[in-house]
Structure 1
């Protein structure tokens, strides 16, 4: 953003017989014309996406339904099977070809993800490689149930399938793909396998070919999977089965549909008890993990699951699992089930034996505060993944306990709302995924068990992190996650957008208006694909505020805030007749002003000035009805603003 040098003189407000003029503003960075430029939105609303921020009357999105059957070979650490994908074209366009995501190909030695992350190190670096997705066959369903070989091209983590004839609006087609892959030990911290003293734990994700999104914004969204950028997927139903050695416990997204076939009578009885219990119920105890009588000796079992209205599914399997569960109470009166699986190594003080308690509390809070949880279970899995989310199931580190376990559990389940329910594009807009989630995590943590794990205010914005967050070399929020410097990702994707929403809620709109608008955004875009503009428009239209100035500074720029109090003058030099206080905006970002005035007679008053005081320049003088000498003027007393220099936030008597 261009920095404009200018100086303005602001007339002080008159008191009775006298009027005083504040000094001219020194050359600075603030440009009120840039901050309040009226041309924030460059495109109007249309039939697909309303200017109000809601889906338009002709909003559409395509659909992908999956039927998957795979086998887990624990000797080779291999998953193999078949996926049948029924793709529905709800767009107004005829599609000559389809694009799919083959995320396992990131683990190939020659992948783009390997080339761009392995040498640099970090969370997404791959210490070892696999063959990725090995495709045995790719076929299209023909008339009468016949299948024909499809023409396809694999490019890194994408596959393009050409159709024999265009898929017209309103038509469906079905792909049949036979494939296999080896589960990497460390799968870019999103999946993997880990050896425990009682067996391996498999955390399996990105495990089937998934349809890329075709939308009204870009058409096919085909950004490759490089590691930092996450996912953008179509919604549909997923029916899947996992055949595994009989001594393994398998958990997965959605409902287990064949409990009687895979659970012992004791486990079935305990599961029924858990569905009615507020307290955690053991389904498989630590003692039973090594009890031969409680575990099948040989053979295999097939576990069947169904996940509805979802963009993805994941699963986990191990013979080392301790397994427990408890009921989740939802606002509508419906019930869900909190479950946890973990090895005995995870049992310690405030360890994974509290995971189900944490899961239950997290889901219940978000369901009441924002939008009801839609799926039959929420499963927390302990493994070697430090924290990763999928619909209905999350993977967290088996070493976590206490505040760390609460934090990662709450964060990963918060992703059920962003982006699993509100299906934004994680490949492009990490701040709409990680940032929104980090913001709601802060409120959840404050609510849990009377603030048991409140150590710091994640969305609070006046603390020691402000200087780092607004550092000159920090990537703006409007940066693709794969383009963000690794050291900056925690701020750009998580912390700063959470700060932004905290400031919008606490300072600009107030909790009541913010919460109404945020809930409406979730309701409007549940199981749909919103863009940043849909979010901006919704927040503005529901709250009744033009927020272009806010988004411009927080999202698109790396603007800083520095408010200063520079002068106090008494009317006719008499404190009993009132005072004029002058404040300045010394950086690019405008925000409302909160001023606390403390008088010598003990009176304290707080004045809140709207952001519009900065519309005509960088200096503002306002009146305060004092009755005695002012002892202190303090800006932002509760540190709700991200002010980068608080040394100029205070004036005391000796200074004026």
Structure 2
């Protein structure tokens, strides 16, 4: 790199941290090569044992996120041998999910969530073009612009992060390792990935693969109704967009107390309407649902006043 480039002066530290973190946390598989070289160029591109990145001297968080993203490609596609030109979600999607996970370790949840939504999510959720709502299983070579970008990066990253939320870290890591061990270097197809995860988890996840990879769903929840009967609050949540996502219900009581309850994507296994029963100690003023980084296309209908 050119001496005096502020972010590249940090690259040895950042790269060492990234290789160690990916090896020990997510994916939790030992870095499979003997070296990693960071090169100051213009591509923001990954290669086996090398990343070629543009200098971003005035935004260290952005620069470091780029390093993390490109190094994560060591596993997908290089270790696995997936075909990015046909199914980019099999590498870019995983790398974008790992980018989020390591970013939280580096920057804390609040900062990381804002950076991730500003850079990744808003461009997807605010783009009304139909091409970006093509099913994830669509061949990447047939997509362009935001259609390619959404299907390659943020939509599959959401699918993986939502699955991690639903199954928990232990099961998710077990089946991820089963997939990587079974198919490393063997050029797995999407169906190899789906069935390997089914086997590794000991569950039939076909409903989930159909929901995320074979539909033209999007992210949009709505509070249809909320009725209180004594100490029981009954909410009906409509998954208008269809994607199986996690969300949090924030219940504000009459005295200002706020109750929070998390729901995993599993609540959408049997359809797009979910009836939630929540015990409350006093009169409820309002109910609000929030998907966090899973940003809602129409957030105005996420609040219901009783």
What TM-score range do you get, normalising by the shorter chain? Answer: 0.7 to 0.9
Unaligned runs of 5+ in 1: 1-341
Q: 1:511 deviation in Å?
A: 2.8
Larger radius of gyration: 1
Aligned to 1:27: none
Cα offset, 1:531, TM superposition? 1.5
| CA displacement at 1:469 relative to structure 2 | 6.1
Q: Give the aligned length.
A: 300
1:164-212 CA-partner distances (Å, limit 9, x unpaired) = xxxxxxxxxxxxxxxxxxxxxxxxxxxxxxxxxxxxxxxxxxxxxxxxx
Match of 2:94 among 414, 417, 436: 436
Take 1:466 and 1:388, find their aligned partners in 2: how far apart are those partners? Answer: 22
Partner of residue 604, structure 1: 259
Corresponding residue of 2:180: 522
Q: Is the Cα contact below 8 Å between 1:517 and 1:538 reproduced in 2?
A: yes
1:24-49 deviations in Å (ceiling 9; x for gaps): xxxxxxxxxxxxxxxxxxxxxxxxxx
Cα drift, residue 559 of structure 1: 0.8
**Contact 1:371–1:523, Cα closer than 8 Å, also in 2:** no
Using the TM superposition, give the Cα deviation of residue 647 of structure 1 relative to its aligned residue in structure 2, in angstroms.
1.5
Contact in 2 for aligned 1:462/1:640 (Cα 8 Å): no
Q: Which residue of 2 aligns with 1:472?
A: 130
Question: What is the alpha-carbon distance in structure 1 between the residues aligned to residue 137 and residue 296 of structure 2?
Answer: 21
Give the Å deviation of 1:367. Answer: 1.2
> Distance in 2 between the 1:514 and 1:646 partners?
30
Structure 1 match to 2:239: 585
Q: Per-residue displacement from partner, 1:336-376 (whole Å, max 9, x unpaired)?
A: xxxxxx233xx23x332222222111111111122111222
Q: SS state of the match for residue 530, structure 1? A: coil
Partner of 2:56: 400
Gap regions ≥5 residues in structure 2: none
Shift of 1:565: 1.7
Deviations 1:437-492 (Å, cap 9, x if unpaired)? 111122222223768x8473538999644523675331432232322113433222
Q: 1:358 aligned to 2:14?
A: yes
Between 1:619-628 and 1:406-415, the stretch displaced more is 619-628
* Residues 414 and 612 of structure 1: CA distance in aligned 2, closer, same or farther (over 3 Å): closer
Aligned match of 1:380: 38
Inter-partner Cα distance in structure 2 for 1:457 and 1:543: 31
Work out the CA distance in 2 between the residues paired with 1:488 and 1:613.
Answer: 25
Confirm or deny: 8 A CA contact 1:459 1:495 kept in the other structure: no
Can you list the C-alpha shifts for 1:594-616, whole angstroms capped at 9, x where unaligned?
4333322536252637645662x
CA pair 626-461 structure 1, distance change in 2 beyond 3 A: farther
User: Is the contact between residue 549 and residue 590 of structure 1 (CA under 8 Å) also seen in structure 2?
Assistant: no
Counterpart position of 2:144: 485
Shift of 1:499: 2.0
Match for 2:279 among 625, 628, 631?
A: 625
From 498, 509, 531, the equivalent of 2:167 is: 509
SS in structure 1 opposite 2:116? Answer: coil
Matches within 5 A, 1:190-209: none
Change in Cα spacing, 1:459 to 1:536, as seen in structure 2 (3 Å) is farther
Once residues 268 and 90 of structure 2 are traced to their aligned partners in structure 1, the CA distance between those partners, rounded to angstroms, is 30
Partners of 2:74 and 2:96 in 1: CA distance = 12
C-alpha separation in 1, matches of 2:258 and 2:9:
52
Check the 8 A contact 2:245/2:264 in 1, yes or no.
Answer: no
Shift of the 561–379 alpha-carbon distance from structure 1 to 2, 3 Å rule, reads closer
1:647 alignment partner in structure 2? 300
1:494 partnered with 2:153: yes
Change (3 A) 1:377 1:580: closer
Aligned match for 1:367, one of 23, 38, 48: 23
Deviation by residue 1:223-282 (Cα, 9 ceiling, x = unmatched): xxxxxxxxxxxxxxxxxxxxxxxxxxxxxxxxxxxxxxxxxxxxxxxxxxxxxxxxxxxx
2:18 counterpart SS class: helix
In 2: Cα distance, 1:457 partner to 1:516 partner? 29
1:450 and 1:610 map into 2 onto residues whose CA distance is: 24
Distance 1:366 1:485 in 2: 30
- Asked if the contact 2:2/2:40 (under 8 Å) is kept, the reply is yes
1:591 Cα deviation after fit: 4.5
For residue 104 of structure 2, what is the aligned residue in structure 1? 446
- Alignment correspondent of 1:456: 114
SS at match of 2:234: strand
Q: Is the 8 Å Cα contact of residues 459 and 501 (structure 1) preserved in structure 2?
A: no
Q: 1:392 to 1:476 in 2, by over 3 A?
A: same
Cα distance, 1:491–1:561 mapped onto 2, change above 3 Å: closer
Task: Determine if contact 1:565/1:651 at 8 Å carries over to the other structure.
Answer: yes
Q: C-alpha displacement at 1:429, in angstroms?
A: 0.9
Kindly report structure 1 stretches of 4+ aligned residues shifted beyond 4 Å: 459-463, 590-594
Residue equivalent to 2:47: 390
CA contact (8 A) 2:223 2:304 kept: yes
